[in-house]
Amino acid sequence: MQSFLINTLLKLTSWLPLSVLHLSGRVIGWLFYIIPNDMRRVTRINLALCLPEMTTHERRKLEKNSLIEMAKTGLELGPMWIWPKQRCLKLINKIHGQTLLDLAVKRNKGVILAIPHIGMWELIGIYGSSHYPMTSLYRPPRLVALENLMRSGRERFGATLVPTDVHGIRRLYKALSKGEMIAVLPDQEPRWGNGVFAPFFNVEAYTATLLSRIAQKSQATVLLAWAERLPYGQGFDLHFEDVDAMCYNADLELATRALNCEVERCVRELPTQYQWHYRRFRTRPDKTQIGYYKRQ
């Protein structure tokens, strides 16, 4: 029943234009802001941890706008996974950094897209897989009912999804060895043993070392990529940016710290569209420390 309801909802949203989805997202996000719920609670905690320089009023405003953008993201999944290629690509207004992407592809050493959870990150995958051979690291969603639609939606334009295991990582290296493109999400907490603690907004965050390891061994070019949502259903601007040279450092701890700094820089450019409701600081260096997200 859950699978049927979720898939029906996603298909229904795919029938609506982007402007209507965004208007609906404003209403839903506002309800998330005024009604106590876990996403609002986690968002509030993360903003207090990461942006202490803001006043309480400024953080509440960002909290509200973030929840509105989160609702828009959820409503956009149906179109991103179901709409035909040309309709999806028509949502792209401008591409910033296309020259950087072209040069990285021409090096023929492979391209690693580091895609933080900013804006509509699914559109980066659609654009990439529509123009280049692309392999993306894939973690099954918590809602099992989403998995089939998510996989088919992400792979329908030629992308290859691989799991976060040894076999999947081998396929990432193989794709890069052929000069192809891979996509990795740099701001998800990895399983224990697959990361190190590195500052993110001056808070120690357990961060995957995979991207840094792959970059160092493959000599592929790393580019940060995100899709900025424009107001009033006008579509999206895609951004591709170089990362700091330290992200290629052979010292994984230094490289991971540098990557977190680069992701933070992007978030500060577009803070309302970052996934502040994600439990980014769930794992703590001190096992005796009470977690930030524990209910008091």
pLDDT tens sequence across 106-129 = 999 999 999 999 999 999 999 999
Residue 268 maps to a domain: yes
Tell whether 164 is covered by a domain: yes
- Residue 8: predicted pLDDT: 86
- If you count DSSP H runs as helices and E runs as strands, how many of each does the chain have, helices first? 11, 9
Percent of the chain topping pLDDT 70: 98
Q: Is the pLDDT of residue 259 over 90?
A: yes
Q: What is the pLDDT of residue 87?
A: 97
Res 3: pLDDT: 67
Residue 278 pLDDT > 90: yes
Is 70 exceeded by the pLDDT of residue 2?
Answer: no
Selection from 190, 228, 230 nearest residue 210 by Cα? 190
pLDDT tens digits for range 66-96: 999 999 999 999 999 999 999 999 999 999 9
Task: Note whether residue 58 is domain-resident.
Answer: no
In a domain, 79, yes or no: no
Whole-angstrom Cα distance, residue 74 to residue 21?
10
Q: Is 247 within 8 Å of 215 (Cβ atoms)?
A: yes
Q: Is residue 69 part of a domain?
A: no
pLDDT at 99: 98
Q: What DSSP character marks residue 227?
A: E
**Within-domain flag for 111:** yes
Query: Is position 63 within any domain?
Result: no
Residue range(s) defining the domain that contains residue 232: 85-273
Classify the C-alpha dihedral 26-57-188-183 as positive or negative: positive
Residue 19 lies in a domain: no
Total domain count for the chain? 1
